[in-house]
Structure 1
């Protein structure tokens, strides 16, 4: 099996990366950063998020597993003290693949079209002033949004920015996307739904800015500035991220430990 190890870049993570490389090489596995079958990330959720984008063109052939060297994460679920156990599993135990849905984002401007994949979320905001945008769902106008912006998240990303905006936490196995508002304007003249919306796999959300403002779009941790866009389309992507599981991954236990741990 071909593998690669990525690191957050701090001394602890780099040292752990070197140990893992040596252990797996001793077991006869081949390091291949260009076409890995398994990507092992050392650092935290951000490190795995970066690895996902680095290998987003080969998601069908690559699985991910994360080791955290900081706070316990939702993606990085192994700890440094378990490295030997994890390495032995990788070398000798067939792993179970778990697939989670991703978000497809298509940004259209007058002169170009861009397609992106998000593991966590996409956001759209205006640069100065409020965002005014049509919100179309499944081809029909649902509302005209006025406010700071909108966040469209995956179930995996529902515990991130979406949660801070008051969105629901969704189990990452659900093939859905969630739309959450950022400081919407609601008064006697303007009105939005005022609640997060969860869309199924076969529904598409199309945002069409109506006011003449510069737009900032984020896809996970990447910021994309567009002076003008005509539309931003979001839906559940055809691609999925594949995680290598060597033991049970109790999602709701992880939620409890992260947010309400006693």
Structure 2
């Protein structure tokens, strides 16, 4: 088995990463940062998101494992003091995995350029300055003219991140769906939006066309992708998925309960 270790720069994470390397060598497993079968991230959810984008061209052949070295991470199943147990699981790996949906993002720029992106959590679109106005289409049919700070489009697992802060619903990770949530929409006697999150099925897609000139701020997970003039953005469920090695992968709703309510099993 070929394993990559992807760590953040924190001293506790580096210490865990070095311990992992030594124990992996002792088990006669192979360290391969270029073409791994397992990617072990050491840090938190931010580290895992960075690793996801680093290896996104190899998702079909990679499973991820997350170790968190600080606060509880939503995607990370192992603690920094459980390295020995994780090594035992790696040594007895039988290919078990669990997969989560991803978000395809197609960006058309005014200069004719086109860019395709992939998100694990979400994408947001805002205007660089002032209120954003944008026509929102569902399956190429105009749905509304949005006015407000911006829009957040998320995956089911990403629904627990920025989407939740924007008032969106938490979606089960077993749903093949994406969610569109408004960020501080303007609703009065003159301007109206739906004012509720939209859940979009796999057979549908969302197209957002800015209705005024000016630079747009487009994000893909934690990265600022562009501040160019955007012509349109199309969002849909990706045919690709992210896979996690299911040695003891925490059930989705248990993650939600532990992360936001503080309830642990048998509490």
TM-score relative to the length of structure 2: 0.96
Aligned partner of 2:255 in structure 1 is 254
CA contact (8 A) 1:216 1:223 kept: yes
**CA drift at 1:95:** 4.1
**CA drift at 1:93:** 3.0
1:156-212 CA-to-partner distances (Å, cap 9, x unmatched) read 101000000111111122111000001111111110000001101111000000111
Is 1:42 aligned with 2:64? no
**CA drift at 1:122:** 0.2
Q: What SS is found at the alignment partner of 1:59?
A: helix
Aligned equivalents of 2:228, 2:10: Cα separation in 1:
36
Aligned equivalents of 2:258, 2:243: Cα separation in 1:
24
Aligned equivalents of 1:67, 1:36: Cα separation in 2:
17
CA contact (8 A) 2:102 2:237 kept: yes
- Relative to structure 2, which stretch is displaced further, 175-184 or 21-30? 21-30
**Structure 1 84/256 Cα, relative in aligned 2: closer, same or farther at 3 Å?**
same
CA contact (8 A) 2:77 2:248 kept: no
Aligned partner of 2:98 in structure 1 is 98
Q: What does 1:45-56 align with in structure 2 at a 5 Å threshold?
A: 45-56=45-56
Aligned partner of 1:138 in structure 2 is 139
Aligned equivalents of 1:52, 1:227: Cα separation in 2:
25
Aligned partner of 2:207 in structure 1 is 206
Aligned equivalents of 1:45, 1:11: Cα separation in 2:
17
| Structure 1: unaligned runs, 5 residues or longer | none
1:58-108 CA-to-partner distances (Å, cap 9, x unmatched) read 100111010000111111111012110011110123241111110001110
Aligned equivalents of 1:116, 1:133: Cα separation in 2:
20
**CA drift at 1:226:** 2.9
Aligned equivalents of 2:130, 2:256: Cα separation in 1:
35
Aligned equivalents of 1:53, 1:173: Cα separation in 2:
22
Equivalent pairs, count: 262
Is 1:174 aligned with 2:172? no
Q: What does 1:209-220 align with in structure 2 at a 5 Å threshold?
A: 209-220=210-221
| Structure 2: unaligned runs, 5 residues or longer | none
Q: What SS is found at the alignment partner of 1:152?
A: strand
CA RMSD, Structure 1 to Structure 2 (Å):
1.0
CA contact (8 A) 1:95 1:246 kept: no
> After the TM superposition, which parts of structure 1 deviate over 4 Å for at least 4 consecutive aligned residues?
none
Q: What does 1:111-260 align with in structure 2 at a 5 Å threshold?
A: 111-260=112-261
